[in-house]
Structures are given as structure tokens and as C-alpha cells.
Amino acid sequence: MSAAHAPLEPHGPIEPLFDDVWRVNGSLEMKPTMRLGRNMIVVRNGGELTIINSVRLDSGTEAQLKALGTIAHVVKIGLHGMDDAYYVDTFGAKMWTLPGARVAEGVTATDVLSADGDSATPGSPIPDLTVFVFALTNKPEAALLLERHGGLLITCDSVQHWEPSPRNSFTARIAFRLMGFMHPAQIGPPWLKAQTPAGGSARGDFDRLVALPFRHVIGGHGGLLRDDGPARLAETIHRVFGS
């Protein structure tokens, strides 16, 4: 049981992205006047809900979430996770993480994300949710490929599509534009700096990522990039790493 849960932050409604896939656009105040949006993705498989990049909800929206199915799994794929403890404690959800990943205080990882799962030891909570593991980063990081609707790539901070971002404060919008965030399927600049080993490059990871069979991208921030995800990510790779 966690000693305390992160406070409730402003968020929007549960929005359908595709059949059995929803998004909640939450937010986080980094410092006064600096509030940024963050996404929670919910995927339904049978009667079970899997939460990715968790965001705590107010009581009314939480009731709507519970009406969609049983909150059974919480998945941490990157640095987001401040609200994981709430879902684990409140609903008894299983906690899925990569080996060596840091989880919220008081939370125990019960299940392991893996690209090599099988029927005996599944690598993800959903049969058609494939785990992509970054191999060249300083800290454990994953992306998820939901093999539905032409392929939906779900990321945390590695790939960010910031338009639209209705919960970014004015200060955040200006700062993120100056920092180079505002490109389609952008590789997060601070994420790349923090995750790249000295003298190394994450290019190989992104070359593998863009080769996955997906059409759409939804990251831990911003909006849904529909249909042309691979093309936009390929442009980003060339812009960031060169030809």
C-alpha cells in the first residue's frame, strides 16, 4: 500500500480514439504558470481495461472509466507513472514494467514487459499489444504497438505529437516551441539528451521503431497523429539524426 498518492490534477473527459481505445488528456503543473498536458491511454480487451501512462481522474470521470470494464492492468513504459500507485491501490490492478524500471513509491511490479513474451509468460497484458524495447537508452524505455486499427504506436516521451495540446499553459506553449517540440511525431529533445549515453546515439532504436507496422501514433503528450505516423516519424529521424 502506498504511503500517499499524487494529488488530482485538472484533466479532460474520456475520449474515444478507436473502438475499445480511449484517451484522457490530463495535466501536470511543473512550476507556477507552467502546466503541460499528459495523456493516459485506456485499451479494453474483453472486459478488462489496461491503463498506459496513468492519469488519476475525478470521481465522475472515474465512474465512467469503471463503466467501461474492470481496471485490471497498469503499464509503465517510460518516466510517467505518478498516478500508478492510485490505480494499483484502489483497484488492485497488476503493475507491468520493464526489468530495472523505477516504479512509484510503495508499488511493486507484478508483471514484466517483454518483447519476447509467449503463452506461458506473456510480455504484455493484451495478446495483440506488442512491446518494443529501446536498446540504446540510459534508462529502461518501451513503446507499445497495438495491432488494431492499422496499428497504433503508443509511446511515453520518446515520440511526442504535441498538436493539439489544450492543457498546456501559455508559458508552456511558448517554451516548448522555443525548445523545438512542435514538430509532428517529434523525438522529445530533453528525453533524447537524457537517454543517450555519452558518445552514443539512439538512431538505431528509432530506425527499428519506424519499421514497425503502424499507422497512428499517440504519445504521453499531445494529440493523436492519425494515418501518416510512419512518414512523420521518418521525417523526424532524418531531421534529428541526419540522412
Q: What are the extents of the domains in the chain?
A: 14-109+125-241
What percent of the chain is predicted at pLDDT more than 70? Answer: 90
pLDDT value, residue 172: 56
The domain made up of 14-109+125-241 has a fold known as Metallo-beta-lactamase; Chain A (3.60.15)
pLDDT attached to residue 118: 75
Lateral strand order in the sheet of 216-218: 129-133, 142-146, 152-154, 216-218, 224-225
Q: Does residue 194 register a pLDDT over 60?
A: yes
- Closest residue by Cα to residue 223 from 92, 30, 39: 39
Would the pLDDT of 32 be above 80? no
8 A C-beta contact, residue 52 and residue 113:
no
pLDDT for the residue numbered 103: 93
